[in-house]
């Protein structure tokens, strides 16, 4: 350790802003007990770690500061700086997330064998050695004291929140609300921006409040339903909550969802003929809610199709790989074509919420006549009127 002239220390231009309150606390401590941990610099006097300690010395009018000199490359120096910030738990959740993401990029550049998939491939082919390196998550957990799950969550925040959205929230309370940041990271960028604009403008104080506002505005702006329809096909933007949200609630990432009450008060009874049929999509956890919607819309349940999606997601009671299409009628609306389709249809799921065309073909086959409408449509289809794509 040696003392160096403060005026000789080189500080990167893109260094984060100084936290004046923290500098003042450090200055008060240094006056009382001296500098316990010296700053760290490279041989060319580049500052590696200790920016706030340096600022505290400047504030105290000092011209020299104790420093440890480490012969590190530029990447190694930045890694050391990030590690110190993470260990001291400085910064907001958003800042820490960005540091972790940067740390991962640097670490995998310094130790390419540790990149995700590479280490596993080396081991699989018997090429791994004790020098192959420790995986980024393990190394970071060991160095910073953070759990692996925390590291993965904060990397997700840094990776999946759009850069322009980060800039909007960087100096707001939202930047330090991890649960909200995680939820935001699971949405599409366009949806993230709408949510954040609601909160920054003061129109909403929580993510849930913002989502409700967006859904309400979309409903308000949507054209009024008119005319009478015999065939209704609906894939509602169901809202999942509580413990179901992680497993089933990815709709939030793609579009504003609607509450059960909002779905029930839709004017569907006003646009259906006295004799009509409803095909309603629902997942198992919301089956009970689906019957409330069916009743509110004036229909009675008759039968169902099961879509076997092949790919599964982990549920709370089983491994989920299916979705239900409920068949409901109003008045007398039996099928015109008595062809019986298998009740279970297998087709691998692809993009979020996209349903197989097979089911529309079934509907057109057994109910070939009458006006038809698709509620919450994601695209226009010949022969069908659509309503609700404004929401999605």
Token pair of 85 as six digits: 């910030």
The fourth-level CATH superfamily of domain 229-242+254-387 is Vaccinia Virus protein VP39 (3.40.50.150)
Contacts of 55 (CB under 8 A, 6+ apart): 18, 23, 26
CATH of range 2-71; options 2.60.120.10, 3.90.1530.10, 3.60.15.10, 3.90.1150.10? 3.90.1530.10
How many Å apart are CA 168 and CA 163, to the nearest integer?
Answer: 9
**Which CA distances in Å does 17 have to 10, 92, 98, 361?**
16, 13, 15, 60
At 244 the pLDDT is 46
Joined together, the tokens standing for residue 362 give 């079934």
For the record, the structure tokens of 297 come out as: 């819309």
Give me the tens of pLDDT residue by residue for the chain, a chain 392 residues long.
789 999 999 988 766 677 788 899 999 999 999 998 899 998 889 888 888 899 999 999 999 999 999 888 888 888 888 888 888 777 899 999 999 999 999 999 998 877 755 444 434 434 344 344 578 899 999 988 889 999 999 999 999 999 999 999 998 999 999 999 998 998 888 889 999 999 999 998 888 788 777 766 765 666 666 789 999 999 998 887 544 444 444 554 445 677 788 889 888 999 999 999 999 999 999 999 999 999 999 999 999 999 999 887 767 788 888 999 999 999 999 999 989 999 999 999 876 568 999 999 999 999 999 999 999 887 888 999 988 644 33
Specify the pLDDT at position 318.
87
In CATH, the number for domain 90-215 is: 1.10.10
Pairing of strands 64-69, 39-41: parallel
- 256-346-230 Cα angle (round to 5): 60
Nearest to 353 by CA among 282, 292, 304: 282
In 3D space, the residue among 93, 199, 82 whose CA is nearest the CA of residue 143 turns out to be: 82
pTM: 0.59
Find all residues with CB under 8 Å of 220, minimum gap 6, and list them.
none
Spans of all domains in the chain: 2-71, 90-215, 229-242+254-387
């Amino acid at each position: 350790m040696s003392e160096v002239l403060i005026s000789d220390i080189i500080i990167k231009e893109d260094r984060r802003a100084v936290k004046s309150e923290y500098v003042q606390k450090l200055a008060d401590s240094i006056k009382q007990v001296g500098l316990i941990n010296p700053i760290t610099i490279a041989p060319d006097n580049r500052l590696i770690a200790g920016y706030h300690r340096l600022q505290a010395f400047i504030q105290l009018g000092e011209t020299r500061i104790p420093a440890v000199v480490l012969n590190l490359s530029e990447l190694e120096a930045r890694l050391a700086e990030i590690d110190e910030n993470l260990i001291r738990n400085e910064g907001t959740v958003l800042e820490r997330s960005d540091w972790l993401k940067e740390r991962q990029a640097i670490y995998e550049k310094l130790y390419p064998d540790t990149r995700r998939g590479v280490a596993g491939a080396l081991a699989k082919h018997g090429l791994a050695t004790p020098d192959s390196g420790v995986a980024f998550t393990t190394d970071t957990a060991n160095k910073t004291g953070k759990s692996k799950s925390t590291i993965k969550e904060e990397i997700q925040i840094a990776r999946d929140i759009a850069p322009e959205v980060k800039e909007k929230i960087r100096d707001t309370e939202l930047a330090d609300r991890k649960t909200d940041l995680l939820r935001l990271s699971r949405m599409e960028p366009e949806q993230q921006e709408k949510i954040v604009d609601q909160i920054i403008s003061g129109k909403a104080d929580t993510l849930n409040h913002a989502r409700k506002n967006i859904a309400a505005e979309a409903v308000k702006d949507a054209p009024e339903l008119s005319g009478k329809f015999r065939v209704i096909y609906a894939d509602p933007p169901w809202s999942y909550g509580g413990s179901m949200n992680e497993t089933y609630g990815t709709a939030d990432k793609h579009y504003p969802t609607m509450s059960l009450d909002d779905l029930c008060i839709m004017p569907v009874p006003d646009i259906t003929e006295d004799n009509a049929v409803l095909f309603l999509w629902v997942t198992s956890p919301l089956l009970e809610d689906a019957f409330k919607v069916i009743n509110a819309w004036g229909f009675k349940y008759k039968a169902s199709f099961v879509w076997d999606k092949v790919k599964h997601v982990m549920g709370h009671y089983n491994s989920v790989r299916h979705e239900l299409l409920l068949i409901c009628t109003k008045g007398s609306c039996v099928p015109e074509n008595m062809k019986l389709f298998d009740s279970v249809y297998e087709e691998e799921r692809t993009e979020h919420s996209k349903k197989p065309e097979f089911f529309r073909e079934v509907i057109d086959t057994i109910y070939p006549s009458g006006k038809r409408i698709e509620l919450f449509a994601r695209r226009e289809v010949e022969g069908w009127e659509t309503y609700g794509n404004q929401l999605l």
